[in-house]
A and B are shown apart, each in its own frame.
Chain A
Amino acid sequence: MIVCASIACAQDATTEQKRLNRESFEFIWSTIRDQYWDPTFGGLNWTAVHDELRPAIERASTTGQARQVMRQMINRLGKSHFGIIPADVYGDLDEHDEAAGTATAGLDVRVLDGKAIVTSVDEGSSAARQDVHAGWEILRIDDAPVTPALHRIAELDGNSTMRELHLARSVLAKLSGAAGTVVRVEFLDSAGQRVTKEIERSEPPGALARFGYLPPMHVWFRSRRLGSDIGYIAFNLFLDPARLMPEFGDALKSCAACPGVIIDLRGNPGGLGIMALGMAGWFIDKPDQRLGTMHTRQAPLKFTVNPRLPTYTGRVAFLVDGCSASTSEIFAGGLKDLGRGRVFGTRTAGAALPSAIDRLPNGDGFQHALADYVSESGRPLEGVGVIPDVEVKLTREALLAGRDPVIDTAIEWIRKQR
Chain B
Amino acid sequence: MHLRRHFLPSLLLAALAGSPGLAAPDEPLPKAEEILDKFVEATGGKTAYEKVHNEKTTGTFEYLGKGVKGTVTSYRAEPNKSVSIIELEGVGTLQEGTDGTTAWESTSLQGPRVKQGEERAMILREATLRAPLYWRKLYKRVETVGAETVDGQSCYKVVLTPEEGKPETQYFDKKSSLMIKMMMSTPSPMGEVPIEILLSDYKEESGLLRAHKQHHKLLGQEFLITLSQVEYNVDIPSDRFDLPADVKALTAK
Contact = CB atoms under 8 A, between A and B. Distances in A.
Contacts, number: 88
Interface in A141-160: none
B108 A213 contact: no
B91 A242 contact: yes
B221 A370 contact: yes
A297 B253 contact: no
Interface in B199-234: 218-221
B220 A209 contact: no
A188 B160 CA distance: 73
B65 interface: yes
Contacts of A211: 68, 89-91
> Interface centre among B66, B89, B218, B249, by most A CB within 10 Å?
B66
B67 A357 contact: yes
Contact size range, B: 20 to 34
Contacts of A35: 220
A239 interface: yes
Interface in B107-151: 107-111, 113
Contacts of A300: 191
Contact of B190 (A239, A297, A304, A359): A304
Contact of B67 (A213, A245, A296, A298): A213
A264 interface: no
B221 A356 contact: yes
Contacts of A272: 91, 109
A209 B193 CA distance: 30
A210 B89 contact: yes
Given A306-B113, A358-B66, A212 B193 contact: no
A330 interface: no
Nearest to B253: A309
A215 to B, nearest CB: 11
B111 to A, nearest CB: 5
Nearest to A357: B66
Interface in A274-327: 274-275, 277-278, 281, 288, 296-304, 306, 308-309
B152 interface: no
29 contacts: A34-B220, A35-B220, A210-B89, A211-B68, A211-B89, A212-B66, A240-B90, A241-B109, A245-B111, A277-B109, A277-B110, A278-B109, A278-B111, A281-B111, A298-B220, A299-B193, A301-B193, A302-B190, A303-B190, A304-B189, A306-B110, A306-B111, A309-B253, A356-B66, A356-B221, A358-B65, A358-B66, A359-B65, A370-B221
Interface of A: 34-35, 209-213, 239-242, 245-246, 249, 272, 274-275, 277-278, 281, 288, 296-304, 306, 308-309, 356-359, 370
